[in-house]
Amino acid sequence: MPVVGTQPGLEKALTDEMAPKFLATRAADGVPNVVPCTSLMPAGDVEDRLIFGNFLLRKSVENLNGDPRVGILVMTTDLEGWVLQGDLIEWQRSGAYVDRLNNTDLLRYNAYTGIRNAGIIQVRAIRQHFRLSKLRLLADYLLARAASVRLSARDGTRPPDGCREATTMPPIVRQKFGLVTAVRVLAFLADQGYPLVVPVLSLQPTGESALVCAQGLSAELLEPLPAGVPVAASLLTLDVVSFQAKGCWLGSRRLWGAAVGAMSVTAIYAGGPPIPGRQVA
């Protein structure tokens, strides 16, 4: 039974080169990794098959070579999105998929090189379909802002036992995570060990070493997440600046009846040129 074809608008969103798309993988130690992957698109010849280019994806490729399980999030500019899970089938170094990816606007005119190879993913499930209004987006952002003040005042960002020591986020990272308009997602390991990527558009700093969000439409998936599990957050701004924060989930709580959650940040990585994947904190 088809998966992608059951969702009106999903294939169009996956085809749109301007739509934010994120790819989550898992390392051998169970730590998730999530990065923008705008080259992700339908293969066009096999049902529920997606392709993407191996371009600035060093850690993702390393993870996929050890574990084929992936999580995907795609969102339109109208704030409609889908959360997918699938498996990497293979890499192809040449052929129609590689040619098609290299001829996209994203890769045809880039200042570096073409893709090294094409990754092929078979989608196995759609975990969530969401649609956000601008009013809901603003309400979640303000709720997260209020939660950030309360958590800082109560020292509610202390990492649980067993988590790595938190690191101080550089000012530029805190500034970018504080933007209203940036796209933010959170990745963690879900059932059967598959990475899951969910939207947390309100995610913002609380203090120098933690991030907090209003869970909003992702509350059903985030509230059961126990404190102490490894998580990763990815940020993509309108001017194509990207950072990834890795850390430890601090759990969920209720603020004025709404679910909020937070993560302790243990490392920050650059998500784009000149050195994608470089640790900056």
Q: Which residue has the higher pLDDT, 267 or 105?
A: 267
pLDDT reported for residue 47? 94
Q: How confident is the model at residue 112 (pLDDT cuts 50, 70, 90)?
A: low
- Same domain, residue pair 114 and 27: yes
Q: Is residue 279 part of a domain?
A: no
* Average pLDDT in the chain: 91
- Same domain, residue pair 96 and 137: no
Specify the amino acid at residue 185. V
Among 98, 130, 162, the domain boundary falls at 130
Q: What is the pLDDT of residues 236-250, one digit of tens each?
A: 998 888 999 999 999
Q: Is residue 277 part of a domain?
A: no
- Same domain, residue pair 93 and 152: no
Q: Which residue has the higher pLDDT, 158 or 198?
A: 198
Q: Is the model's pLDDT at 155 over the cut of 80?
A: no
- Same domain, residue pair 25 and 57: yes
* Among candidate residues 82, 79, 62, the one with its CA nearest the CA of residue 71: 82
* Among candidate residues 79, 240, 281, 254, the one with its CA nearest the CA of residue 156: 254
Q: How confident is the model at residue 105 (pLDDT cuts 50, 70, 90)?
A: confident
256 by Cβ neighbours in 10 Å (0-12 / 13-18 / 19+) ranks as exposed
In angstroms, the CA 260 to CA 218 distance is 10
Show the domain range for 209: 133-270
3 CB-near residues (< 8 Å, 6+ apart): 48, 84, 123, 124, 125, 126
Asked whether the whole model's pTM tops 0.85, one would answer yes
- Read off the CATH number of the domain in which 218 is found: 2.30.110.10
Q: Is the model's pLDDT at 111 over the cut of 60?
A: no
Q: Is residue 111 part of a domain?
A: yes
Q: Is residue 118 part of a domain?
A: yes
Among 79, 108, 130, the domain boundary falls at 130
In angstroms, the CA 45 to CA 54 distance is 20
In angstroms, the CA 55 to CA 132 distance is 30
pLDDT reported for residue 153? 61
To 10 degrees, the CA torsion angle through 203, 204, 207, 212?
-20
pLDDT reported for residue 152? 72
Q: What is the pLDDT of residues 35-77, one digit of tens each?
A: 999 899 999 999 999 999 988 788 999 999 999 999 999 999 9
Among 89, 109, 130, the domain boundary falls at 130
- For residues 163-177, give the mean pLDDT: 92
- Same domain, residue pair 263 and 252: yes
- Same domain, residue pair 147 and 255: yes
pLDDT reported for residue 269? 95
Q: Is residue 62 part of a domain?
A: yes
Helix or strand holding residue 269 (H, E): strand 258-270
- Report the share of the chain in percent with pLDDT over 70: 94
CA distances from residue 90 to 52, 72, 97, 152, 167 in whole angstroms, order as listed:
11, 17, 12, 46, 36
The first and second tokens of residue 181, run together, are 């308009």
Domain count, the chain: 2
pLDDT reported for residue 21? 97
Q: Is residue 264 part of a domain?
A: yes
Q: Is residue 281 part of a domain?
A: no
Q: How confident is the model at residue 110 (pLDDT cuts 50, 70, 90)?
A: low
Number of residues that make up the chain: 281
- Same domain, residue pair 164 and 51: no
User: Any bridge partners for residue 230, and if so which?
Assistant: 248
pLDDT reported for residue 231? 98
Which of these ranges, 155-159, 223-227, 231-235, has the smallest mean pLDDT? 155-159
